Each structure stands twice: as C-alpha cells, then as structure tokens.
Amino acid sequence: MSRLLSLLLIAMLATPVIAQNRNQNRNPKRPTEKMPKNGVIKQVSPRVLAIETDDGGKWLVAVNANPQDISVVGKADAAWLRPGMLIRFESRFSRKGEAVAPIGAIEVISPRESVVFGLQADLPGAGGAAGNLFLDPDEAKPKPKVPRKKPKPEDTVYKVVGKIASLKKNGKATIAAGRLLKVEIDPQATVAVDVSNMALAKPGDKVNVDAWYYPNMQGRAVATRITIALTAPLTGETKKVIPPKPVERDAQPADPAKEEDDKAGDDKKEKTNPFDDDQS
C-alpha cells in the first residue's frame, strides 16, 4: 500500500514540478508563490509528503532539499540507540578513556557543517582539542621531570561527537571519536534527536517548510528546507511474542465395546497367572 501511495504521489508531482525543477532550479521566467509554512503531515512516502497546512490547505510537497536543510527533531528513549548512530554528549573521562559516570543526556545527530567530530575540551593551549591527556600505555614515553601543573582528564568536562561502535543491553558502549571511548549509558538517559532522516516522520507530525509553487499549480510544491517535529518519542521497546496456549483436547467418549474387550482381557490374565493359584 505504501509503495502504491509513493508511486501515486511521485506521478502526480513528476509533471511538471519535479521534472522541470531538478537540482532545485526554478524557471526564472515563471513567477512563483510561497507555500504556507506550518502544517501537519498526513501521508509519508520517500521524498514526498502530503501536508495539510494550518489554513486547511492540502499540499503534495516534494522535498528537494539538501540534507543540511532537512531536520527531524524529537525525543527518544535509551533503548532506541543503535550502533552506527552519530551522537553528541558531555562527560568526564579517566586517562584510560573511560567515562567516570553514566551518561545521562545524549543527542543523536546527522553530519552537518557545524558538527565537529571527535573529543574537545576547554583547556589552555589545547586549541579546543583533547591534547595529550589521553595517552595509550604503549605510546607513553619518559619525559624530563619538569614541575608543571597539568589537569587530570577527570577534572575536565569533554564534549564528544562520535559514532556508537558497540552497545550492550546493560548500557555499556564503545564510542569511536578519534579514539575508542568506553561509556555507560544510563537506561533513563534523555535522548534528543536532530537528524536528516525523513524515514522517521509519521502522519500527525508537525512540519515547518520553506516551499514554493507555480500559481497555476496550487497544491503541489517543492520544499527547499523542512523541519519535522515528531509528536511521539522514538522507542526501542519490542513487543514480546507470547506463544499461544496449548489447546486442551476434550476427553474422548468411552467406547463400550473397547471397555468390554479390555475387561475380558483382564479376566483372562487373572486366570492364567500362576501366582494367583493356590499352591498349598
């Protein structure tokens, strides 16, 4: 059904909106209008949304925006996190790269120009990077003993942007952020979502768009920027499959003929059993 809807929406938009406006190029000789910004999603298909605006208008919107201009925001629970996700959080770490406390707040994000991958700390002379506070034992080299004051890693809060490399059910995780960091994610951690993955959108979600359309084609528009606000939190809970209870078969009615045969057999055994005879 969703595939049929997708094909229908694309077919309705393909001529002449998308076909004439590939790569977000409008026809400069044709005047355009701006679509109302705010509305609610009614149907979702790849790169095409059916939207009802706040003024009651019904629109089919082709999302022809760059990933940088697509934002799906909302909340999630910690069970929704998966390996491969790009996350951002703050924590203190030991010299071995282990978080000294469970992580209580996490952001799931998409790569954007403003996102700086890796580990950052506000240290004098560190240039915003973690510097040499995290040294692998094999890389440690003897240095001249010079009196100096150097903050310990656990004394500094670090901002981390990295990918979840591994994640266990108990919350133990490994984060790849230029080096491998070991953390424990609090099962009750607050998880904020700001990604460009439109597949997370569902009917009922609120939307804010910058979109244009040709005056003679009202109801069909092309979006160059879109923000979708999820109305329901994303959850990783899975429903437990409860096996059906075995059906108890009703007791079969007794067969009188069979009972008579069984009784005759028992009588025969009683007569032929030598231990039942009186041997005295």
Burial of 241 (0-12, 13-18, 19+ CB in 10 A): exposed
Question: Do the beta carbons of residue 73 and residue 230 sit within 8 Å?
Answer: yes
Percent of residues, the chain, with pLDDT higher than 90:
57
Residue 91 pLDDT > 80, yes or no? yes
- Mind listing the pLDDT tens digit for each residue in 144-158? 565 556 667 667 899
| pLDDT tens per residue, range 205-248 | 999 999 999 999 999 999 999 999 999 999 986 545 455 565 55
Report the alpha-carbon angle 130-133-135, nearest 5. Answer: 115
Q: What structural domains and CATH numbers belong to the chain? A: 2-69+198-229 (2.40.50.140), 74-138+150-195 (no CATH)
166 vs 26, residue with greater confidence: 166
Rounded to the nearest integer, the mean pLDDT of the chain is 79
Instruction: Quickly count: other Cβ atoms within 10 Å of residue 225's Cβ.
Output: 16
What is the pTM for the complete model shown? 0.70
110 to 43, 128, 230: CA distances (angstroms): 24, 21, 16
Helices (H), the chain: 2-13, 19-20, 256-272
- Tell me: pLDDT of 102 over 80: yes
